[in-house]
Structure 1
Amino acid sequence: MKPASAAFLGLTLWLIMALVAGWRPLLIHFWQGISVILLLLALFDAWRVWRMPTVRVQRQVAGSLPVGVWSEVILQLYNSSTQSSRVEVFDDYPITSNLQGQPQPLQLPASAGIETQYRICPQQRGACQFAGVHLLIESPWRFWKHYRYIPLITPIRVYPNFATITKFAWFAAENRLGQLGIRQLQRRGEGLEFHQLREYRSGDALRQIDWNATSRYKKLISKEYQDERDQQIILLIDCGRRMLTQDSTLSHFDHMLNAILLLAYVALRQGDALGLMTFSGEPRWLAPRKGMNTINVILNTVYDLQPSTHASDYLNAAIQLTQRHKKRALVVLISNLRDEDNDELLPALQLLRHQHLVLLASLRERILNEVLEQPIYTFEDALRHAATLDYLNTRRQTHDALTHQGIVYLDTVPEQLPVKIVNRYWEIKRSGML
C-alpha cells in the first residue's frame, strides 16, 4: 500500500490548514476536525481497496520464441468487482529479454475484462519463464495504490531465430529467393539424378534427348534430371570460446545457429539427411535423418546449447566424427578462425577429407570492414588501416591454401552467413562434388 494522488492532495490541504491555524488560533478546532475527516476518509478508502476481489489475469504467449526477434505477449485482466478501478500492470517477464510497452496503466470496467499487449525480445536462448503479474490497484477515492502479485507461471523456450526459415519458405513459394540473396543455380531439365521423361522443350540440350524414346513415340523426348537426393549432411558445431565473440546484439554462436537452421531446412527440402555433432563444450550427437520433422528435432537439440570457455579442439572433433559416421557426407564446420589455429586445424581437415567433403566457414568480425571504410586522418588511422588490411590478406591466403587442398572455404561476416552458406551448399549439390 502506498499513497496516491488524493492522499498527497489531502496532505497538502492539511499542511495549509495547519499554517492557517498557527496564525489564527481560533481556527485550530476547525483544523483538527479537518484532520479527523481526512484520516477517516483515508482509512475507509484503504479498507475498500483492501477488500476488493482479486483481479483475474491470463497470459497468452507462444511456447517457443526466436532469439533476437520481437514477439507479442497478451494479458487479459478480468475485474469481478462491481466498481471500476484503475490498475497499473507490470508483467514479470524473463530478465534476459528486452521489453516494450511496460508498465501499462489501465481502466478496468466493473464486472468486465480488458485486454492489453506488449512486446518482448529474448536475448538469450534456453528455457525460461514468466513468473507472475505485478498489479498496483488504485483505491476508489484515489488515496492509495494497493500492490498485489498474481502468480502466473508460463514456461517458454527461446530458440535460435527460426523466423529466417519462415521468410525463406514464403519467398520460395513466391519464387522470389533472389530478394534474400539466395541464388538458385538449377537449370531446367539438368542435374545429376534422372527424374523423368517428358516432351522436348525449346532450350533443352541435345544430350538430354532420349533417342530410344524419341524413336518409339515418333516425337522428341527429353530426359529431365534433378539434383541428387539422399545425401548426408553433418553440422559440426563449435562450442569453443571463440564463438562467444559478440557482433551486434548476437554472439557468433547465435549467428551460427541461425545459419545452420536455414541450411538444415533447405537440405531437408532437397531430400538429404541431416545430423549434427557438437565439440569443445557440452557433447551432443544427432545421427543423420530425413524428413521436415528433423527441423523440430534440431531446434530441441540446440536451443539451450551455449558456448563454453574451452579452446576449440578440432582434431578431437574430427576423430570422434570419423568414428561415429562412416558414410561419406558433407561436413559443415563453422568457427571463428585465427592464424594460430592452422597447426591444429589442418590435421583435422585432412583427417575429415579422407572420407568426407568439408565445408569450412570462418566468421569475420564486422568491425574489420568498418575500419577499412573509415577515412584516414592521422598516423594512427593509417596504422590501423594497414594492420587490418594485412590481417585480411593473411586470411585470404589461408582461404587459397585450403581451397587448393580440396576444402570448400567460406569467409564472411556473421549477418551474411545464412545466405552465403545456403548458396555454397547449392553450388556443391550442382557441381556433384559430394
Structure 2
Amino acid sequence: MKIRPTPKLAKLAGGWLLLGIAASLWPPGTVFWVLAGAALAGAAGWDGLCLRRLPEISVERSLPGVLSLGVDSEVTLRVSADPSQVLPLRLHDHPPASFEVEDLPQEVTLPEDGWAEICYRVRPLERGEQSFEAADALLSSPWGLLNLRRRVGEVTSVRVLPNFQAVARYALLAMENRLGQLGIRLIQRLGEGLEFQELRDYREGDSRRQIDWAATARRQKVISRQYQEEKDQRVVFLVDCGRRMHTRDGEIRHFDHVLNAVLLLTYVALRQGDSVGLMSFGGEERWLPPQRGVAAMNTVLRKVYDLETSTLAPDYLEAAKKLLSLQRRRCLVVLITNLRDEDAPEIVPALRMLKRRNLVLLASLQEAILRETAERPLDSFEDALLVGSAHHYLAARQRAWEEVNAQGCLTLDTIPQELPLRVVNRYLDLKRSGRL
C-alpha cells in the first residue's frame, strides 16, 4: 500500500510556496501564508486518514488456462469492495512482459452493493509458462489530494502453447472433406495403395491388377481388391534449436513456425495411423520416442510447448549419431533447420549417416530479409554494397543446397510461413507413392 500526492496537491503546494515568496516581500502577509500552509497540511492529513479508512479491494482474474501464441485472448477482472460502497478507482493489471496489451488501465466505479468488471485483451508473443502478477488499484481521496495504490489479486500462471489453430482448422476441413482449402493436396487413387484392406465388387475405373481372380471365380462375379496406405509407420522430427532459429519475421519467430509445422504434421500423421516422435538439438535436448493414437497429440504438444532456442550453433553430426542410437527402426526423419553455406561440410555427412537406415527430408527456412535486400533498388553506394552482399550470400547458400541435393535426400527450401503446409504435402506425397 502506497500513498502518493496527486498533481492537484502539487499545484496547491506550489501556490503556497509562491505565497511564501510574496510574504517575504510583504511581512504582513506572513500570517496568511502560515494559515494557508496549516490549512493545506490539515486537508492533506484528513484526506490521508480517509484513504486509510477505505474498504479492502479484492480482484478475481478470469482467463483461459491455455493461450495460443500470437492469438488475441480476453482477460476479465472482477472487482469488489468489503464493505461495499460506491467507490471510483483506476485498475491496472500486470500481464507478462512478452504480451501485447490493449485497453489498460481502466477506470471503474464500484456500486454501493455489488461488484464491477473490466475486460482487456492480450496477445502472447512468447511460448511457455507465463505469469500475471497482482493488479494495482489506484484510489483517490475525497478531496483529490492523495492517491492510494493497493496491490490486489493474486498471481495467475498460464501456459502459452504454439498456435495450433491451423491444426484445428485442418480437423474441421477434414471432416467436411474440403482439405483443398488448406492447400493440402489429397490425390485420389481409388482402390490402390500399399496395404490390403478388403475385397469388394468391381467398380468402373478399377485396374486389371486390382481384380482378385480367385475370388471372382468363387463368387461368379468380378471382385476387386481394395487397398489403403500402409499404417503404423514412423515419423521422427529432428528439430534445430540453435541460434539461427531465433530469427523473427514480423511478430512470430522462425522457430514458432517450426513448431506449428511439427504440430500440423503430427496431427496428420496420427490420423493416417502412423506414429510420431521428436528429438531437439542445438540447445536443450529432448527426446520423445514415436507415439501413436489419440493421446499422442497431447504428448507431443506437452513436449514442445515450452521448447526454446539457444545461443549455440547446431551440431548436425552429433545429432545424427544420437538419433540413430535412440531410434533403431526405419522412419521418416524430418530435419528442420536454417541451412547456411558454411554448414555443408558438417550436414552432408550427417545426412549420409541418417540416410543409410531412414528416409530423410531436410526442410530449411529462408530468411525473407535476404530476398528483400537482394531485390531492393540501388539508390546509393550503400544500397549497392548491401545488394551485392545479399547476392553473394544467396549464391553461396545455393551451392550448399546443390551439395545437399547430391546426397539424394528429400529437400524443402521455404519461407517459414509456408513450412507447415509444404511439409504436410510432402508427407502425403510420400505416403501415396509408397516411399515411406
TM-score category by the smaller chain?
0.7 to 0.9
Match of 1:54 in 2: 56
Match of 1:87 in 2: 89
Cα distance in 1 for residues equivalent to 2:20 and 2:204: 101
Cα distance in 2 for residues equivalent to 1:268 and 1:54: 53
The question of whether the paired residues in 2 share the 8 Å contact of 1:49 and 1:146 is answered with yes
Matched, 1:157 2:159: yes
Cα distance in 2 for residues equivalent to 1:427 and 1:67: 30
Secondary structure at 2:311 match in 1: coil
Structure 1 residue 135: deviation in Å?
0.9
Aligned residue among 425, 428, 433 for 2:427: 425
The question of whether the paired residues in 2 share the 8 Å contact of 1:80 and 1:112 is answered with no
Match of 1:169 in 2: 171
Judge which range, 177-186 or 225-234, deviates more. 177-186
Matched, 1:112 2:117: no
Secondary structure at 1:341 match in 2: helix
Matched, 1:231 2:223: no
Match of 1:312 in 2: 314
The question of whether the paired residues in 1 share the 8 Å contact of 2:77 and 2:118 is answered with yes
Structure 1 residue 223: deviation in Å?
2.9
* Identity over aligned pairs, percent: 45
TM-aligned CA distance change 1:176 to 1:107, over 3 Å: farther
Cα distance in 2 for residues equivalent to 1:78 and 1:220: 77
Match of 2:353 in 1: 351
TM-aligned CA distance change 1:404 to 1:26, over 3 Å: closer
Structure 1 residue 352: deviation in Å?
0.8
Match of 2:127 in 1: 125
Letter of the structure 2 residue corresponding to residue 262 of structure 1: L
Structure 1 residue 382: deviation in Å?
5.7
Letter of the structure 1 residue corresponding to residue 117 of structure 2: E
Number of matched pairs: 434
Q: Structure 1: which 5+ runs fail to align?
A: none
Aligned residue among 229, 252, 255 for 2:254: 252
Cα distance in 2 for residues equivalent to 1:350 and 1:124: 35
Match of 1:190 in 2: 192
Judge which range, 413-422 or 56-65, deviates more. 56-65
Cα distance in 2 for residues equivalent to 1:265 and 1:63: 22
Deviations 1:68-99 (A, max 9, x none): 33222221112334421111111121122222
Cα distance in 1 for residues equivalent to 2:219 and 2:52: 90
Matches within 5 A, 1:33-72: 40-72=42-74
- Taking structure 2 as the reference length, the TM-score comes to 0.87
Cα distance in 1 for residues equivalent to 2:102 and 2:64: 17
Structure 1 residue 140: deviation in Å?
4.1
Structure 1 residue 18: deviation in Å?
9.2
Match of 2:376 in 1: 374
Match of 2:365 in 1: 363
Structure 1 residue 27: deviation in Å?
10
Secondary structure at 2:154 match in 1: strand
Structure 1 residue 432: deviation in Å?
1.1
Cα distance in 2 for residues equivalent to 1:38 and 1:417: 67
Deviations 1:17-36 (A, max 9, x none): 99999999999989987776
Match of 1:293 in 2: 295
Q: Structure 2: which 5+ runs fail to align?
A: none
Deviations 1:220-271 (A, max 9, x none): 4433322211001111121222223333233332222221111111111111
Cα distance in 2 for residues equivalent to 1:257 and 1:41: 60
Match of 1:75 in 2: 77
CA RMSD of aligned residues (A): 3.2
Cα distance in 1 for residues equivalent to 2:222 and 2:7: 89
Deviations 1:268-294 (A, max 9, x none): 111111111122322221111112322
The question of whether the paired residues in 2 share the 8 Å contact of 1:80 and 1:110 is answered with no
Secondary structure at 1:170 match in 2: helix
Secondary structure at 2:346 match in 1: helix
Structure 1 residue 7: deviation in Å?
4.9
Cα distance in 2 for residues equivalent to 1:402 and 1:23: 89
Judge which range, 235-244 or 333-342, deviates more. 235-244
Cα distance in 2 for residues equivalent to 1:23 and 1:313: 81
- Taking structure 1 as the reference length, the TM-score comes to 0.88
The question of whether the paired residues in 1 share the 8 Å contact of 2:61 and 2:153 is answered with no
Match of 2:146 in 1: 144
Letter of the structure 1 residue corresponding to residue 326 of structure 2: R
Deviations 1:353-382 (A, max 9, x none): 110111101111011232344344556656
